[in-house]
Amino acid sequence: MFWTILLPYCVTFVLGNTTDERIPFFHGHVFENSPPGSKVNGLSIPVKRIDPQRWCSKSGMHLKLLGDRSEDFHVFAHHRRGHILLKTSNVLDREERAEYFLSVALCCQSCASAERVVAEVASIKVDVLDTNDHEPTFQHADVKITLDDATALRSVVYTVKAEDIDSGKNAELIYYALPRNGSFYIVPKTGDILLVDSILGLAQPIKFSVFARDHGWPARTSQKMDIAISPRQWPALPQLDNGLSRKSRSVPEPVLITVSEDASIGSVIMNLHPVRFQSASFELIHPDADNSPVTVSRDSGDLVISRRLDRETQPLVEITVKVQDKRGECAVTYPNICTIRLYALVPFPPVQYVTVSPARADFT
């Protein structure tokens, strides 16, 4: 019983000196780009915690900062409050250095040299907090894409990527495109450019600009990245005999076209209007409208998808369209024949070509 009571006192006596020698730790922060003389927030060291009388009983106390880049700060004692504080000596840049590990040293008469330091009395960590002082940047100024016009809808045709060297929300980016167009959509969080509407039959490139904006305050926006997407039509497929070869020139040869099974309803596959006639009418002869996945506009000659295509169940669609001049003449070059036979074929997977500048890197 006697030893049970006495043992804790013995342990405390033996370890007491070690506990007293432990250097107290303090933590503070300051925002980057703050002017010199800015106070390090959250950092206040009570003078009594460092016990200066223990080291300098007869002379005055002097403080000195030690550690890598300690010259970026200066330490001073606030005598009214009885605390030791830190202020910046220079403008800090978080991208250059995000944190400092320093020590407060004590000198008894002066701190003119390192030899006068009698003790390190406190350990300090200072975090340099980020301000939104950088805008997002793209690696390339423009991107040129050659995209097969039969590309499946909802396909990712390209992914833009910007970088922001800030941190936290200041580096979280969203993407958007201007001017808005109905064919492509950019996913704000990922930068994926999606094909959302058919580009079948489009001859001119689709041009728009992409921007990146961060979540900082105030928000910063990147310079534009120009995007140009040029539709590429599939080459004509070899003519299919399929038992439909013509024995007479009185029947025109079929026109072969390709179309993606993911082409949206209402997409224009092609225009049948002959150049020779300024006024013509068009009529779908075979199959009837209820059984055909495409329709033809009577006045414009636009061949339009009317229902979803399925390559697995119907890989080949044959239609016959009657084209006649509204003045009563035949609209095709064959005498007394006013029909054009067309095939609508579901294509193989599309091909995409991308060119980026100024790096001139090509991807296939």
Cα separation of 114 and 130, whole Å?
A: 33
d(CA 199, CA 184): 10
Mean pLDDT of 61-90: 87
CA angle 69, 36, 136 (to 5 degrees): 80
Burial of 328 (0-12, 13-18, 19+ CB in 10 A): exposed
CA atoms within 13 A on the CB side of 58: 0
Q: Taking Cα atoms as reference points, which of 34, 28, 35, 37 lies closest to residue 83?
A: 28
The residue ranking higher by pLDDT, 184 or 357, is 184
Cα–Cα nearest to 90, from 64, 69, 67: 69
Tell me the pLDDT band of 325, cut-offs 50, 70 and 90.
low
Parallel, antiparallel, or unpaired for β 25-31 and 117-129? parallel
pLDDT bucket at 99, cuts 50 / 70 / 90: very high
Per-residue confidence (pLDDT) for residue 165, from 0 to 100: 92
Query: Taking a C-beta distance cutoff of 8 angstroms, is the pair 52, 71 a contact?
Result: no
pLDDT bracket for residue 63 (50, 70, 90): confident
The rounded distance, in Å, linking the Cα atoms of 213 and 136 is 7
Tokens, residue 25: 């730790």
Q: What is the pLDDT of residue 23?
A: 87
Which residues fall within 8 angstroms of residue 13, CB to CB, at 6 or more apart? none
CA neighbor of 295 nearest in space, from 317, 328, 278, 313: 317
> What would the DSSP string read from start to end of 310-363?
-TTT-SEEEEEEEEEETTSSBSSSSTT--EEEEEEE--PSP-EEEEEETTTEEE
- pTM > 0.85: no
For residue 70, the SS3 value is helix
C-alpha torsion angle, residues 244, 248, 253, 254 (rounded to 10): -30
Structure confidence at residue 252 (pLDDT): 53
Question: Per mean pLDDT, which of 117-126, 221-230, 243-252, 346-355 is the most reliable?
Answer: 221-230
Q: Given this model, what pLDDT does residue 55 score?
A: 74
The full set of domains in the chain, from first to last, is: 21-129 (2.60.40.60), 137-233+352-363 (2.60.40.60), 255-345 (2.60.40.60)
Q: pLDDT value at position 16?
A: 44
Question: How is residue 54 annotated by DSSP?
Answer: H
Whether the pLDDT of residue 333 is over 60: the answer is: no
pLDDT at position 291:
83
Confidence of residue 319 (pLDDT cuts 50, 70, 90): confident
CA gap 43, 124 in Å, rounded? 9
Instruction: Among 204-213, 270-279, 340-349, name the most confident range.
Output: 204-213
Q: Is 7's pLDDT higher than 70?
A: no
Euclidean distance between CA atoms 320 and 287, whole angstroms: 7
pLDDT single digits (tens) 204-263: 999 999 999 999 999 999 999 999 999 887 554 444 444 444 444 444 556 666 777 777
Q: Average model confidence (pLDDT) for the chain? A: 77
pLDDT digits (tens, 9 = 90+) for 138-185: 998 999 999 887 777 788 999 999 999 999 999 999 999 999 888 999
Q: N- to C-terminal Cα distance for the chain? A: 85
Q: Exposed/middle/buried for 102, CB within 10 Å: 0-12, 13-18, 19+?
A: buried
Q: Which residue has the tokens 């590429």?
A: 232
pLDDT category of residue 270 using cuts at 50, 70 and 90:
confident
